[in-house]
A = this chain, B = another copy of it.
């Protein structure tokens, strides 16, 4: 497969191990979660897409074919699981926008869900990729909530991610090591506790 790079060169994609242009954020997170699972680091899964089934044909008892169904609005985030005994919960979104992350990308009840998770002692956050720069940010749930509660804006500027978020590096394996950021944040939390 040939990939057009901005400078006009064409490169065979199979040779680009560290770049992931054209690879979706969802795919990157899924392979990362597989890595975490296989290497006994964490157990984190993407939840199935919620679907309302209306009509099912039963060819045989084991062989059901869904003939009519509709996508439902999710009430929670897409990913959750356990890491070092702690509850992990996040939503991942990519945007082509160069300067803003439009909040229309996340449902209101998903934001409420992240807030609840934090209130119950879980680790809730957002992963946002700005595809134009191929930059993936980790934004702590508390910072997301604080932005939404203190702003009337319908988007979060990239500067907020630069200031309050952390960049998740894209590597070979694990592809998108977001748990490393959690470790860093925990260490910083411990450090600030020691200082205060």
Q: Identify the A interface with B (CB < 8 A).
A: 37, 40, 42-43, 45, 47-51, 53, 64-72, 75-76, 80-89, 113, 116-117, 119-122
Contact = CB atoms under 8 A, between A and B. Distances in A.
A174 B97 CA distance: 45
Contacts of A48: 47-51, 72
Copies in the complex: 2
Given A43-B117, A117-B43, A122-B82, A66 B71 contact: yes
A83 B113 CA distance: 14
Contacts of A81: 80, 87
Given A86-B85, A89-B82, A121-B84, A69 B43 contact: no
A193 B49 CA distance: 43
